[in-house]
Structure 1
Amino acid sequence: MDPRPLRALSRDLVRELGMLSQQCGALALSPLEAHLLIELENGPATNQQLAERLRIDKSNASRPLARLADRDLIGWHPHPSDGRSKEARLTIAGQSQLLALHQEMDSATAEALAQLSPVEREQLWEGLRLYRSALSRARRQQGYRIRPITEADNPHIAAVVRAVSAEYGLTADKGYGVADPNLDFLHETYQGERSRYWVIEGPDSTILGGGGIAPLAGMEDVCELQKMYFLPTLRGLGLGRRLVLQALAEANALGYRRCYLETTAVLREATALYESLGFEHLPGPLGNTGHDACEICMVLTLKSGALHE
């Protein structure tokens, strides 16, 4: 997808929702003031906490909070556990204003939803949920970089594979990836015409994980997802999903029709990730990978339209 049309659509949504206006509908509240009141509906919060929730600078929260206090919509109270801080709380007038805000905005949203069929409403909900999730992951991933492996990365990514294997008890004597004789030479291993390997750099340029694809022996149109390992500091950021998506896009570009993988039940998070991306379980292995101890075999059909625009 070209990001430019999506950006244009996002701008249109911001305009249609009145986020560029000085007030929300008929209420004397700016959009930022409205967001602050809604956050305080969940309980007292400090300036810093509110700024973090709204993804804005603390100074940008201070001024609208001061305006809300001047209008007696919020009040400042001593923090129960931090004598240096104060918490903002909704006043009775603030609660009344918030109720009016919800009623007006709910009515406007209901008018918009009335233009859609039940199926379209479900599509809208799912699309917005996915977009919100993607934006959140992209924000958390700032400072990290996925790039092709270089020769200098060899010892670092090998150390990652060994560390993660030890963490999960994936020992060499059981035939897991850590037993691969080429583990210390992954850059050279993935120099084939239809092979790729990427590493993930942290903000300090430390190698924290990696993964790649290579032809599955004896099956010309099938690639194998290989050496997907991530240190604990990298997990929970969505970078594993991002790397797999990048690998699948490259597999499509290289002409593969299916992507195969083998994993083990110990790696529960990895299996759940693959399932969420459409990989299906197989009753047994494809080809000859040599991963005797990997009891979970999965495959994804490419060029099906699911991963394409």
Structure 2
Amino acid sequence: MNQYYKDYLIRSWEKHHRIPASEVIRCVLAEYGLGWEPDGADKDVLQIEECYLATGGEFWVVEYQNQVVGTGAYYPILRGQKAVEIRKMYLLPQVRGFGVGKYLLQQLEETIKKRGFEQIWIETASVLVEAVRLYENNGYKAATGVETARCDRVYVKKLGVRS
């Protein structure tokens, strides 16, 4: 992945992105009063190779003026039918409101669909109001079975099916 949206570059994760990507996620979590969990829910960010690349997933970063300002990722999961989970979709506050999140979500969906997956699952927390709105406005339906402790919402979207 190497694609521009306005002045933002969405690109595939490389090793030198590990710390900047972690910092973006840590900052956004703190902004909403959620904790950084390097031994729990955020362990995957420190182990991109094992958790994403080796499992058939992808991890992307969003750069603005050569700085990592956002992240987005997915990997295959056993829940549902030919399913993936979108994870770690975070944008720093200064880059929100310009359509970057919606564009990033659309690019993730297109890539996932091209790879033959049929369902996308997303877990989030109600306090992440912008994320909840983004998912609900883009065809994600509330589901049950939250698996991440700090999350209280789970959504699913069937690809190729209009809602």
**Length-normalised TM-score, structure 1:** 0.48
Q: CA deviation at 1:271?
A: 0.7
Asked if residue 181 in structure 1 is aligned to residue 59 in structure 2, the reply is no
Q: Does the Cα contact within 8 Å between 1:225 and 1:259 map onto a contact in 2?
A: yes
1:191 is matched with 53
Q: Structure 2 stretches of 5 or more lacking a match?
A: none
Q: Structure 1 stretches of 5 or more lacking a match?
A: 1-137
Q: Does the Cα contact within 8 Å between 1:209 and 1:230 map onto a contact in 2?
A: yes
2:93 is matched with 232
Q: Does the Cα contact within 8 Å between 1:149 and 1:187 map onto a contact in 2?
A: no
From 145, 156, 160, the equivalent of 1:299 is: 156
Cα deviation code 1:89-114 (max 9, x no counterpart):
xxxxxxxxxxxxxxxxxxxxxxxxxx
Rounded to whole Å, the distance in 2 between the matches of 1:230 and 1:251 is 20
Asked if residue 285 in structure 1 is aligned to residue 145 in structure 2, the reply is yes
* C-alpha spacing 1:229/1:178, structure 2 compared with 1 (3 Å): farther
Q: What RMSD, in angstroms, separates the aligned Cα atoms of the two structures?
A: 2.4
Cα deviation code 1:171-217 (max 9, x no counterpart):
14xx7997422322335532135311111000x21000011111124
For CA contacts below 8 A with separation 6 or more, give which structure has more relative contact order: 2
Letter in 2 for 1:274: Y
For 1:194-209, list aligned pairs within 5 A: 194-202=56-64, 204-209=65-70
Q: Does the Cα contact within 8 Å between 2:41 and 2:148 map onto a contact in 1?
A: no
Larger radius of gyration: 1
- Structure 1 segments (4+ residues) deviating >6 Å: 175-178
2:72 is matched with 211
Q: Does the Cα contact within 8 Å between 1:176 and 1:292 map onto a contact in 2?
A: no
Letter in 1 for 2:107: Q
* Amino-acid identity (%): 29
1:146 is matched with 10
Rounded to whole Å, the distance in 2 between the matches of 1:178 and 1:268 is 23
Q: Does the Cα contact within 8 Å between 1:176 and 1:293 map onto a contact in 2?
A: no
Q: Does the Cα contact within 8 Å between 2:52 and 2:75 map onto a contact in 1?
A: yes
Letter in 2 for 1:206: Q
**Length-normalised TM-score, structure 2:** 0.87
Rounded to whole Å, the distance in 2 between the matches of 1:177 and 1:270 is 24
1:259 is matched with 120
